Structure 1
């Protein structure tokens, strides 16, 4: 969404770019509207995640544990020195403030890394690499989903993957029909990051972390299968994104309202309702 705002001076380019950026938002909102009530009534995702986590978190998990556990160990070893340094530097903060500031620092570092990866990808996406990307996205829905997932696994960030194709959509190189399945693949690919992180834990913490990561994965996979698989609701996210992009292209304030509403106001309201009731 932020990447699309950089196109705001060109009305048509902004319209296309903002639609490509927000189709992901509309898909996720629709997925929540469908699966949250089902989860509250039947607990399908929670039970599936718990069952698989219990079977794979232990020492006898086999190949899956060996692969993801090894990756998780490498990631943990690479990040622990900086993590410990920041934690020690902020140790003077009292009580809950220590945790809050740690979260703020972590989010800031994530944004910096995503921004850096995005810049590097733009440098790399020229010539043959750019042609391959065009071929992968434009070949069809299945190819788009697969390429979105693979690229996201490689860069470990769906935001970076999406930010990579938004300028291409804005320029008219891809239509929303091609971008839509690509973002769904990115949605699935980003769950691998959580799985890798979960396998870096040990004992009871490993089971809890793996359960959360698997719930994230199952939610995205089920949502893609149901929403994209059912023709009656498949086109709702693109239609919503197109409608919003038309509004934002005419009056830019709607882009700011959407960003603040979806990413700040709505989560705060849900947190308040959850804690209050």
Structure 2
């Protein structure tokens, strides 16, 4: 047996945990909690046996089992409220921006605009499942063509990755964790962006997704039943008691059934009673249940049959009132998300303290195809790829899951999230709706076939994400800038250019062409600077200088305290006063050089005489 394999993996007693280094161990293995934990590369991790994994997992004394039980309960507590905060964030985002998202999705436009609208709508409502369901509904209602629906779905694939990128920013307290977490989050972004970069022009030229899915479908499909994942049944009711978004508003604005959200206001509850029967039920559907002469009416915030009206529901509310409530809930959810993320990370860190990385790597290293299946299965259960990747992101930040293992898990999440669209299509009973849902599935499968099986291609998103993580370590301004530029500024720029060409006039077409040429020239100049003029190294040097300056500013108060202490010791030794005013008084009393020279000159004159 090799020396590396003989490394003991059983954690030390918790009272004796100390920060160590792999240099201190004869085997050179790294343990969680080591001072040089972040320096270990994947290739440096030794191979453990399954016997060692079993020993580290299951062989403990009674005291350690007690710690494990308490830690598990704590982790589950923080995980539940972490998921609750994500659900609350999604509900609140739909309330705040649901009208805008519905308006965006309602327009039948060109492919580029459809792609951007899908991305922006998903980023606004914080849910690709919601966007996909609305797109499927639009196609089923003949409000949007199948081709436009495919491009909207492509955009939704990009927009869904904004959530876990925001979650990664919750680990800004530690440079090591932020680097790994941001890389783990952006590997999802880069895969989706690269897939769109290849498959969007391919679909534009050949329409292969359209014709492939059309050939697979019958002339008609039977309606299916709605299905909710078990996790939604556990988390959603609690979030629904705080605020519950009315998805029908978004769908009806998108399908054109109503012109704007203003038609839903003011909120009206029959006889002033705030419950589902008097506020949210339809007169046509539940005529026998509603008492009074008027129908109830709800806006962006609605009531639920089982849980009733949420805390932020208000009879007589205006659109502004509901959106203000949504903004408040977004702030609450973000605060709760950060607190739960910090708690979850802290509990996991304590549980892993002293554990050998060889054991963790062995336990989590599974073949890529199985990781894809696991990611898909988890996403089907939770009904959200954002939840899957958001939960995995802090685990990557801790170093439990390597970046190479995160990629196939996120690919599986992409596959799993297509189930929501398929179920929505089956409920609609329209062939066209099912065609769009299948196009979503085959789009993700095509992206996996392009970027994952071949190691050389796989390295493109991995190395890109790893570079972003390293830059984030040097400057914590990178994550917010990245989110704003990638998910909002660039899409809005593309949407503006698309609008210029949609005018179909010589002036606007010429202006749009000039802007496109300028953008292409700027990109070409940037690539030349980056590749030929050592721009990459100059950028890294700039980040290094900013990092040094930031660290200097942080340590300056400590340095000043030490400097004052040294000055005090020097003053005590020399007899000089420490007080600045006393020093000034002595300086005033002390004669100047000219005054001191006058008696000497006078004496010299007398001597000469």
What's the CA shift for 1:217?
A: 1.0
1:5 and 2:229 aligned: no
Q: 1:126-205, aligned counterparts within 5 Å?
A: 138-202=365-429
What's the CA shift for 1:72?
A: 5.8
**What secondary structure sits across from 1:235 in the alignment?**
helix
**What secondary structure sits across from 2:470 in the alignment?**
helix
Q: Which residue of 2 aligns with 1:130?
A: none
Kept in 2: contact 1:136–1:143 (CA 8 A):
no
Aligned partners of 1:160, 1:180: CA distance in 2, in Å?
Answer: 15
Kindly tell me: are residues 2 and 56 of structure 1, through their superposed partners in 2, closer, same or farther at Cα, counting changes over 3 Å? Answer: farther
Kindly tell me: are residues 259 and 209 of structure 1, through their superposed partners in 2, closer, same or farther at Cα, counting changes over 3 Å? Answer: same
Q: Which runs of 5+ in 1 are unaligned?
A: 60-64, 127-133
Residue number among 235, 238, 241 corresponding to 2:459 in the alignment: 235
Q: Which residue of 1 aligns with 2:312?
A: none
Residue number among 56, 71, 79 corresponding to 2:226 in the alignment: 71
Aligned partners of 1:161, 1:232: CA distance in 2, in Å?
Answer: 26
Kept in 2: contact 1:4–1:18 (CA 8 A):
yes
What's the CA shift for 1:174?
A: 1.1
**What secondary structure sits across from 1:200 in the alignment?**
helix
Q: Deviations over 1:176-201 (max 9, x none)?
A: 01111111111111111111112121
Q: Which residue of 1 aligns with 2:431?
A: 207
TM-score (norm: length of structure 2)? 0.35
What's the CA shift for 1:244?
A: 0.8
Q: Which residue of 2 aligns with 1:19?
A: 183
Residue number among 73, 96, 100 corresponding to 2:260 in the alignment: 96
What's the CA shift for 1:41?
A: 1.1
Residue number among 45, 55, 61 corresponding to 2:218 in the alignment: 55
**What secondary structure sits across from 1:9 in the alignment?**
coil
Kept in 2: contact 1:137–1:179 (CA 8 A):
no
1:221 and 2:384 aligned: no
Q: Deviations over 1:147-169 (max 9, x none)?
A: 00000011011110001111111
Count of aligned pairs: 243
The structure with more radius of gyration: 2
Kept in 1: contact 2:385–2:414 (CA 8 A):
yes
Q: Deviations over 1:221-256 (max 9, x none)?
A: 110012102333111001110111111121111111
Aligned partners of 2:460, 2:406: CA distance in 1, in Å?
Answer: 14
Aligned partners of 1:235, 1:163: CA distance in 2, in Å?
Answer: 22
Q: Which residue of 2 aligns with 1:62?
A: none
Kept in 1: contact 2:372–2:412 (CA 8 A):
yes
What's the CA shift for 1:272?
A: 2.9
What's the CA shift for 1:50?
A: 2.7
Which is worse superposed, 157-166 or 137-146? 137-146
TM-score (norm: length of structure 1)? 0.74
